[in-house]
Every structure is written in structure tokens, then in C-alpha cells.
Amino acid sequence: MTYSNHKKKFPNDVLVYIEEFDKINRTVLFDFYDSNEYTMFSEYSSSSSSIDKPTMILLLNYNGKNLQENTYYGIKSETISSWSKNGLMAENGNSLLISYSINLVNFYFTEEIFTQSVSVHKDFGSSNLIYGKRNIEDLIFDLKGHIKVNVRNVGQGNWNEIIKDETYIFIYDCGTDFRADRSEVRNLIDERITNYEDDKPVFVLSHWDKDHYHCLLGMTDDELSYFSKYIFRNEVPNLTCKKLYSRIRSVKDSEDIYAIIAEERIPKLRLISLRPITATTDQIVFYNSQYHKDRNISGLVLSLKTEKSSVIFSGDCQYIQLSECVLPHLNYDHEHYLIVPHHGGKCGKFIYSNPGHIKFKEAIISVGKNTYKHPNKDYLAHLASNFKNTTITLKTKNDILINLK
């Protein structure tokens, strides 16, 4: 059902966005389509929480139907009211993402909590779209010098840095575990924020996923202004992302924001391809994916190369996307480093084919303690057979530094 039809047929339903569905641990994390939906939720639940505070809701002991992540669903007003009347809502004051936890262990309701799914992609209103430059070819970067890549130890999240001669040039993602509390997020920020203030790096967001932008939420408006440019997908999926973008837009001119539209998908093509949107001869190459409902495989990917080294910044995309769309542009005699997608978790079939001349040096996994069984044992076995080394932040307990040659 489309968004417009859903609102006509079920005007009192609250439209929410599934951030995460963990069937094994019976949890659901959801956010709201926009501020109007959050206002309706607040009225039905008699909540006094301000929209300026975190808005995501964490359901515990969920026993309902299977849900699709990155998908919108309706929730009946009666369901929300019953949560409040039965005292199931516990306010979470120590999170930058979650406003309430709702324990459903003693919740009995005759209907499903989440009703029909709703398609909003073609109905996205102006509040869901980022306005900025569409073309990044005007960005020019001088990468002559000693280049390093730092994979930060941020637990179950992603935060990568490109450094030239001790100057921070690029930040790719700025996230951590969605369960991290405010002080944990603040500590991660404090370890870097002075460097960012001095160096004014460019910020690139792989995709609008909580564990890839969480730490941006903990920055002050002044700190958000330290990034010279912002590059991200042009569609923001939920209220948390909209509020974050609004803060960024309040401190940065539209000339400093690059809102990249996903490539049009070719029907029936099995591969969600990545297309280079900067010259493949450049040291740093940006790749833009085709549109897909699954944000993990529809993001922005980077490759960085020097004379004797290369690194792929993969976000949460699939191995086959990197193998078929990125590796062929790195086919020269050098040592290759892969920042493993999705914390070593689900990324499709392991296909990572050497086009002929690359020496697979090291696979690096940014991962923390989790209930998802990341990194996946099968992927670890494949990585071990393809790369000389596999390094995991959960084991090193430190950042992992790559010195490019």
C-alpha cells in the first residue's frame, strides 16, 4: 500500500520505520516517519517527551510476525494507548537514540502490533529529501604525502578516518553500537573532536543506519560545523535522521552539502551495482549504488589507492558488489586492505575475486560485543583463505591503523 492511500484509509494509524528486527532476541527498534507521526504517538501514549529528545522506541519480548527492516508499518492507536495504560513504557534518559523501552512480556493483544507495510519511496515529501549538490566532481583532494587509514574501535559500529601527514582529510561514517549510552558516545567524540576542529575533514556517510551515524547525534552544533563538507544519500528515512540533517543544515551552507541520489535500478538485474561517480584514475574514488529498499546495499562506497596500497571502505554492502564493481579498478600490483562490510555479518554470498594482480593483505573487521553472532564464522573462514591477515577490533581492543605505501 502506498503512503497516500494508507493515510486516507487509516488516518489514525501511526506510521513507523523498522530500524532493527532481532528475531532471536525478540526485540524491535523503530522510529517514526516524521514529526506528525511522533506527535500522534505521544498523544495516544500520553507521553510528555519532547520531539527535541530521542524518538526511537525499543520493544522487548516481541512475539509478533516477522518484520522487514528499512520498511514502514502502521500501528493502531488502540495498541499504543494500551502500552501506556498498562504501564509498559519505561523512559530511557541515557540514550541519544531511544526514548522509551516497552516490555511486552505480559502484553496480550488480539491483533498484530504492526499492521500492513507501507511503500513511501515514490511518495516521499520534501521533508524526507536532502537538498544540496548532486555532483561531487568539483571536489578536489590533494593526497600527496604519507597516507594512513584508521579504523576506530567503536564497538558494533563504523568510524573510519583517512589521514594525510597527520591531517584528517576524510571521515567515513561516525557510528557506534545503538545501545551505547551518552557518556560512551561522548568519550569517542572527545578523543577526536580537537583534530576535526583543526583539520576540517570531509564527512561521508555510507548510508542512513544508526550504527553509522550515532556519534554525530552526540556532537554539538558547533562540532558538527567542523566538517568542511557533508556527503550522504539524499533520502532520509526517519525522524531521527531528519532531525540530524536539520541540525547539520543549520550550521552548513547548501554549497557544503552533497546529496547523492541513488542510481536508477535496472529491472530484473540480479546485482545492485556500484557505479564510480568520480574518475577511477583518482586516488580516492566514490561509488554510488543503485536504489534498493535494503539501505545496506544501496549506499556510498569509497576506494583509496596509492602506488603500493589500496583500501576499500565498504559500509554494509555485499561482497559481490565490491568484487564486480570496485576491485576491477584496483587491478595492479599492490597490497590490498578491505574494511569488511557489515561488521563481518550478513553480506550475501562470499564472492571477492582477485582480478589478477592484487595481493590481498589484510581484512579488517569493526565489530563489538553483539547478539547477532558477528563476525560470521563462514565469512571468517573465507577471509582467512583469501587474505594474509584478518584483524578484528573486538580482539585488538584498539584502533587499527593502516599505513599505505
Q: Which residue has the cell 553480506?
A: 347
Q: Helical H runs in 69-181?
A: 77-85
127-403: CATH class: alpha beta
pLDDT of 249: 96
**pLDDT given at position 154:** 98
CA atoms within 13 A on the CB side of 135: 3
The pTM score is 0.96
What whole-number distance in Å separates Cα of residue 373 and Cα of residue 23?
13
- pLDDT, position 6: 86
**Is residue 189's pLDDT more than 60?**
yes
State the pLDDT at residue 125: 60
Question: How far, in Å, are 83, 148, 216 from residue 43 at the CA level?
Answer: 12, 51, 29
The mean pLDDT of 140-155, rounded to a whole number, is: 95
Q: 3-state class of 110 per DSSP?
A: coil
Q: Is 139 exposed, middle or buried (0-12, 13-18, 19+ CB in 10 A)?
A: middle
Q: What is the pLDDT of residues 319-347, one digit of tens each?
A: 999 999 999 999 999 999 999 999 999 99
Strands (E), 160-237: 160-164, 167-172, 202-204, 229-233
27-71 pLDDT, tens digit each: 999 999 999 999 999 999 998 888 999 999 999 999 999 999 999
155 burial type by CB count under 10 A (0-12 exposed, 13-18 middle, 19+ buried): buried
With a CB cutoff of 8 Å and minimum separation 6, the contacts of 54 are 92, 95, 96, 97, 98, 99, 240
Give percent above pLDDT 70 in the chain.
98
- 346-203-297 Cα angle (round to 5): 25
Q: Higher model confidence: residue 106 or residue 311?
A: 311
Give residue 106's pLDDT band: very low, low, confident or very high (50, 70, 90): confident
The pLDDT of residue 118 is above 60 = yes
Strands (E), 222-308: 229-233, 257-260, 274-276, 284-289, 300-305
Residue 108 binned pLDDT confidence (cut-offs 50, 70, 90): confident
- Residue with grid cell 537514540, as numbered in its chain: 97
Model pLDDT, residue 270? 82
**pLDDT of 44:** 97
Q: Which residue carries 574501535 as its cell?
A: 153
**In contact, 189 and 218? CB cutoff 8 Å:** yes
Cα–Cα dist 82/85, whole Å: 5
Give the domain ranges of the chain. 3-123, 127-403
C-alpha cell at 149: 587509514
Query: Alpha-carbon distance 363 to 383, whole Å?
Result: 7
